[in-house]
Chain A
Amino acid sequence: MPIMELSKKIKESEIGQEVLLISDDPATAADLSAWARMTGNEIKVVSADNFLITKSN
């Protein structure tokens, strides 16, 4: 699941580091904002299935 993969990647990242998530899973876009709210990280929507995440904490 893309969100779970993202969580693993962010865990390994430094604060301020960016992760590009590419996913056409319909649940990804739906869950990213919830994920950001729960984890305190920032999301930037680049396109319909491209998301740039910045580790914020």
Chain B
Amino acid sequence: MITAGKYEGQHPLHPKARQILLDAFDQGWADPAQISAQGRQAQALLANARESIAKSLGLQVSEIELWGEPELISPIAIWGAPGFGSAPFIYSATERSEIIGMRAKSKQAFEISVDINGAVDLEVLAQTLQPNSIVAIQSANIETGVIQNLKVISKAVVAQNAHLHIDASASGARFIKPAYWSTLHFDARSWNGPSGVGVFALKNGARWSNPLPHTKPTRAPNSFSIPLALAAASALEHWIADESANSARLKSLIERVRNHVKQTISDVDIAGNAESTLPNIISLSFLNVSSEQLVAALEVEGFSVASGSACVASALEPSHVLKAMGLLTHGNMRINLNHDVQDGEITKLLALLPGIISKLREN
């Protein structure tokens, strides 16, 4: 299935994850903080879910917390980093808007540019880093799929005794942890889990303090939905199994799209290069094409694609990610492949696309 939007979360839940969700809602659940038998049962279910998620993501259970508002994870992770506000805050030009927005709360904020392939300028990053800096970098970009060189970045960060927050919300379970990190952000939608479940990870031993008023010992308000959390854990397990069976196929399908577009359509910007982008995302910008018309034309043919262009839907500004890369922001379409995408869907899309682009350009 080819999906629109920034997350595979629009994909239906795995049937087993869906059944867990429905059972939990049908049967109700007790407060896991209660000492009753039902409370203890809920606690055990939740503990299993947390263990499963931690194991699946290669983390310790003690390092993770589940959050019911995933988009708040990165801002709060950054806000709670030691010295945030006065310490240098360094982020890349293609970070999610919520992260870039944190510059308003910092007295020293440094935006690191990216090259045309979306790679952070490592030389400038190294020159900008100071002791005790707070660095926020995405592992991969949700719009373009561009993967950052976290191995080099984390080495530079640890050399300065700095704090490294990694936004892994786009990578999800594809995220490869570098040797050094301080906090992480995951979103269950990235593994076809339900929306409304995120994972905040704080490395054991890393310094961080909750910037929100709090009265409980947990870092998060702990107000996430238990059924959704259980479903997220199940979805993650099944996603990992599906990924091992399908990752090579997804990658070859995206390569087919990339190669076919290059060969058959002129004046197109393809975000990132094949070697350092996620295997399931591709962003294409066609010169002299209206994104709105392109999305509509594809919809008529049964394809639901997203766009980073300003004229589409509610976007008032062009994609800051494409802009930062120096790529065309108009005429943009973005596709996200799920594990169950059929080869025939891609064949059909590639057969139609050149003709659609040509027709739209004539108009």
CB distance from A5 to the nearest CB of B (A): 10
Contact partners of B288 in chain A: CB under 8 A: 3-4, 7
CB distance from B86 to the nearest CB of A (A): 32
A-contact 0/1 string along B306-318, CB 8 Å cutoff: 0001110000111
Question: Is B283 at the interface (CB under 8 A from chain A)?
Answer: no
Query: In the complex, which residues 166-199 of chain B have their Cβ closer than 8 Å to any Cβ of chain A?
Result: none
Q: Is the CB of A30 within 8 A of B318?
A: yes
- Taking chain B's interface residues, is the majority helix, strand, or loop, or is none over half, making it mixed? loop
Question: Is B287 at the interface (CB under 8 A from chain A)?
Answer: yes
CB distance from A6 to the nearest CB of B (A): 9
Query: In the complex, which residues 326-363 of chain B have their Cβ closer than 8 Å to any Cβ of chain A?
Result: 326-330
Q: Is the CB of B328 within 8 A of A26?
A: no
Contact partners of A27 in chain B: CB under 8 A: 309-311, 317-318, 329-330
Residue from the set A7, A27, A37 with the largest chain B CB neighbour count within 10 Å = A27
Question: Is A14 at the interface (CB under 8 A from chain B)?
Answer: no
Contact partners of B329 in chain A: CB under 8 A: 27, 30-31, 34
Question: Is B323 at the interface (CB under 8 A from chain A)?
Answer: yes
For residue B292, which residue of chain A has the nearest CB? A1
Give the size of the chain B interface in residues (CB under 8 angstroms).
19
- The one of A25, A30, A39 in contact with B323, judged by C-beta atoms closer than 8 angstroms, is A30
CB distance from B317 to the nearest CB of A (A): 5
How many pairs of A and B residues are in contact by the CB < 8 Å rule? 47
CB distance from B300 to the nearest CB of A (A): 21
Q: Is the CB of B287 within 8 A of A1?
A: no
A-contact 0/1 string along B275-318, CB 8 Å cutoff: 00000000001011010000000000000000001110000111
Complex CA–CA separation, A9 to B7 (angstroms): 39
Contact partners of B290 in chain A: CB under 8 A: 1, 4
Complex CA–CA separation, A25 to B317 (angstroms): 9
Question: Is B267 at the interface (CB under 8 A from chain A)?
Answer: yes
CB distance from A35 to the nearest CB of B (A): 7
Q: Is the CB of B318 within 8 A of A31?
A: yes
Which B residues have a C-beta under 8 Å from some C-beta of A?
267, 269, 285, 287-288, 290, 309-311, 316-318, 322-323, 326-330
**23 A-B residue pairings within 8 Å (CB atoms):** A1-B290, A1-B311, A1-B330, A3-B288, A4-B290, A7-B288, A25-B310, A26-B316, A26-B317, A27-B309, A27-B310, A27-B317, A27-B329, A30-B322, A31-B328, A31-B330, A33-B326, A34-B285, A34-B326, A34-B328, A37-B326, A38-B287, A39-B287
Q: Name the 7 nearest CB pairs between A and B, nearest first.
A: A27-B318, A34-B328, A30-B323, A27-B310, A7-B288, A30-B318, A4-B288
